Amino acid sequence: MKTILYYFTGTGNSLAVAKAIADRLADTELVPIPMLMLKGETVHAPKDANIGIVYPLYALGLPNIVVNFFKILDLKEAGYVFSIVTEGGKFGSPTKQIAALAKQSGHDLNAAWWIRMPDNYIPMSAPPAKPEQKAIREDALRKVAVLVDAVSKRQPRPIDLTIPGKLLKFVMYKPFINRIPKFGKKFVVSPSCNGCLICRDVCPVNNIEALQKGKKQWLDHCEGCLACLQFCPVEAISCGGKSDDRPRYHHPNATVADMKAQKGMKDDESKQ
């Protein structure tokens, strides 16, 4: 039975979960959402396939790129549709939001899972200490094993926000997500920048433009994923000064090559 996991990741957490599923579930293909969005063509789900959407939680809701992905995703022929949200808190999945989008794309959402991963939204708080990060990731793998068994059997599984989560989402999500496209204006580059342009290459939506002498500017279609900040090898990027003293985070197995591949770039390729 074919399974396709469409994923979006900023720091590698969602990609790590998607890879863990693919390692345990036969005939599973990983397909990056940013690459498909850059192509802009309609994506047709294969007939009777399992279709999973793997993504991080943003202010208790969906990233803009995931919302927009459903506009080009045709799920009418799919056999079983599920979502997997990774997040650093304890409030669960925005199932109603993604269920409505799946239905508009032609298929009911059959199941949803929430998998906790290390919190890495450093404009708000520092990531957990490394021993805690490791424990969280190990627990996530245990949840993946349960998830894989359920998907292989096409079991239904509804899950939604807790009551506190629903209240917080009502207050947080729309104001946050509406400001995200211009989020790049918050980034500040320190003199320690070495001009490597990794920040530009890992950006999943090509929101960073190189200028003369290694300088760069952020455009107005940011996803707020923080990949540019988290993958900078010299920690030269901060977010409005709020993250200067906080450790950076990306999943230990996530590489710059992974981030380039997410938008269809080869490892030895740099965006011109």
Amino acid 242: pLDDT: 64
Cα–Cα distance, 259 to 5 (Å, whole number): 16
Q: Which domains does the chain have, with CATH numbers?
A: 3-166 (3.40.50.360), 180-262 (3.30.70.20)
Interval 29-78: pLDDT, tens: 999 999 999 999 999 999 999 999 999 999 889 999 999 999 999 999 99
Interval 202-256: pLDDT, tens: 999 999 998 776 678 999 999 999 999 999 999 999 987 767 789 999 999 999 9
**Distance, CA of 190 to chain centre:** 26
Cα–Cα distance, 238 to 265 (Å, whole number): 25
pLDDT band (50, 70, 90) for residue 271: low
Amino acid 88: pLDDT: 86
Amino acid 89: pLDDT: 75
pLDDT band (50, 70, 90) for residue 155: very high
User: How far from 90 is each of 12, 101, 178, 186, 249, CA to CA, in Å?
Assistant: 19, 23, 23, 27, 19
pLDDT band (50, 70, 90) for residue 92: low
Mean pLDDT of the chain: 92
Cα–Cα distance, 204 to 25 (Å, whole number): 26
Amino acid 133: pLDDT: 96
**57 Cβ contact list (under 8 Å, min separation 6):** 85, 86, 87, 89, 91, 93, 94
Cα–Cα distance, 91 to 71 (Å, whole number): 26
More confident residue, 14 or 192: 14
Interval 10-19: pLDDT, tens: 999 999 999 9
| Region at 126 (left for phi over 0; alpha for psi -120 to 50; beta for the rest) | beta
Residue pair 3/52 in contact by the 8 Å Cβ criterion: yes
Amino acid 164: pLDDT: 67
Residue 21 has pLDDT above 90, yes or no: yes
The mean pLDDT value for 136-148 works out to 96
Q: Tell me whether residue 259 is exposed, middle or buried, using C-beta atoms within 10 angstroms of its C-beta: 0 to 12, 13 to 18, 19 or more.
A: buried
Cα–Cα distance, 197 to 193 (Å, whole number): 9
Q: Tell me whether residue 235 is exposed, middle or buried, using C-beta atoms within 10 angstroms of its C-beta: 0 to 12, 13 to 18, 19 or more.
A: middle
pLDDT band (50, 70, 90) for residue 26: very high
Amino acid 79: pLDDT: 98
Residue 125 has pLDDT above 80, yes or no: yes
Amino acid 244: pLDDT: 73
pLDDT band (50, 70, 90) for residue 170: confident
Residue 179 has pLDDT above 60, yes or no: yes
Residue 20 has pLDDT above 90, yes or no: yes
Structure tokens at 181: 């496209």
